[in-house]
Amino acid sequence: MVTGLLDRATAEEYASWFRALADPSRVQIVEYLARQARPMSVGDLVKAVGLAQSTVSQHLRILTEVRFVLVEAVGNARHYRINQACVGCFPSAADVVMGRPAPSPVGGCA
């Protein structure tokens, strides 16, 4: 038996996450930052993914908007790191959207 709809605010949040990961380069950036497990400069990411600095910066802007990636100022530079709490929520969101029980509590992506 199907219960009520997912509430609108949660659905909108999940949709923003899916949109953010709708580009293969952004998926690569998230995966790379997760594997490196340390803050990285845009230059480091440019070398890793092989895209122009402006393109990587644009992708990072999108990823920081949904908080998959966090940014911190280091002098005049900015360093980017994965947001473990937010990325950890994503599989649960996908399960909920597909009608499966979430494997862990959804939340904590702030």
* Cα 58 versus chain centre, distance: 14
Residue partners of 75: CB distance under 8 A and separation at least 6 = none
Question: What's the rounded mean pLDDT across residues 73-85?
Answer: 92
Within a domain: residue 56? Answer: yes
Angle at CA 13, nearest 5°, toward 68 and 11? 145
The count of domains in the chain is 1
Angle between helices 8-20 and 84-97 (to 10 degrees): 110
Within a domain: residue 12? Answer: yes
Residue 108 has pLDDT above 70, yes or no: no
CATH number where 20 lies: 1.10.10.10
Give the span between the Cα atoms of 102 and 105, in whole angstroms. 7
Predicted local confidence at residue 81, as pLDDT? 96
Within a domain: residue 84? Answer: yes
Within a domain: residue 109? Answer: no
- Measure Cα distances from 77 to 39, 42, 67 in Å: 11, 9, 19
DSSP three-state, residue 108? coil
Within a domain: residue 72? Answer: yes
32 φ, ψ (degrees, to nearest 5): -65, -45
Q: Which tens digits make up the pLDDT trace of 9-24?
A: 888 888 888 899 899 9
Predicted local confidence at residue 1, as pLDDT? 40
Which carries the bigger pLDDT value, residue 96 or residue 49?
49
Within a domain: residue 2? Answer: no
pTM confidence score: 0.80
Structure-token pair, residue 104: 């862990």
Range of the domain at 78: 8-97
